[in-house]
Amino acid sequence: MQKSLCFSLLPLYAVMLMSTAAFAQAPAERPPGLPQLTVVADHGGESARPYYVAIKGAGVDEEEGYSPQLGGESRPSRPYGEQDMLPLESEQLTPGTVTPRQLDLPGGFTSIFLIGDDDLSRQWLAQRGDILREMNAVGLVVQVRDEQSLQALRNAAQGLELRPVSGDGLAERLGLHHYPALISQRGIEQ
C-alpha cells in the first residue's frame, strides 16, 4: 500500500516541480502603470565593487576602491580656484563698441557687466563704477592674463564683484561681439 501511495503521488510531485521551475523562470510582473525598462547599454565585465568603498559597512577595502585619476595623474594637493582658470580668453568677444538694444529680461534680474583686461574696459569701469555699484551689478571678466591682472581690475572696481568667466556662451545667446557692456533689465548698453 505504501508503495502504491508513493507512485500515485509521483505525478503530483512532478507537476509541483515543473510549476516551480516555470515560475522561477517567468519574468517578474511589473506593477500596473509602470513602463517597461529598456537596457540602453550593458558594457558588462566591470564590477561595481570599487564604487562601494564610499559606503561604510559595505565590506570593501580602501585598496579596492575607485580612484578617478586621469592618465595616472595624482589629485591636486589644493582645491581648484580662480588661478586654474587663467589665462582667460573669450574667443567670440573683443574690446569695441556695443550697439545698445532692448532685451526682455525677467523682473529681479541682477545686472551684469562684461569687461576685460584692456584700456577700454578700465576707462569704462572708471566712468561707470558709481552707476554699477548703485545697481549692485556683478562683473564678468571675459579676458584676463593672470592673477595679478585680475587683482588690478578688482582694485580698480572698488568693491564691485568681479568673476573670471568665459563670455562665449553669453555672447552667442545675446549676439554680442564686443565689451565692455552692461546687461540690465533695460537691455544691453555700453
| In a domain? residue 151 | yes
CA–CA separation, 165 and 182 (whole Å): 15
Count structural domains, the chain: 1
Query: Mean pLDDT across the stretch 99-105?
Result: 91
pLDDT tens-digit map of 38-89: 766 555 656 665 666 666 666 667 676 665 654 555 556 778 888 888 999 9
| In a domain? residue 41 | no
Give me the amino acid identity at 144.
Answer: V
| In a domain? residue 38 | no
Residue for cell digits 550697439? 99
CA–CA separation, 58 and 53 (whole Å): 7
pLDDT at 106: 82
* Dihedral pair phi/psi, residue 66, rounded to 5°: -75, 135
Range(s) of the domain holding residue 91: 85-189
| In a domain? residue 1 | no
Per-residue pLDDT band for 33 (boundaries 50, 70, 90) equals confident
pLDDT at 41: 59
Give me the amino acid identity at 153.
Answer: L
CATH code assigned at 97: 3.40.30
What value does the mean pLDDT of the chain take? Answer: 80
pLDDT tens-digit map of 116-129: 999 999 999 999 99
CB count in 10 Å sphere of residue 182: 24
| In a domain? residue 128 | yes
Q: In which element (H, E) is residue 161 found?
A: strand 161-164
pLDDT at 108: 86
Per-residue pLDDT band for 14 (boundaries 50, 70, 90) equals low
| In a domain? residue 142 | yes
Whether the pLDDT of residue 148 is over 80: the answer is yes
pTM for this entry = 0.60
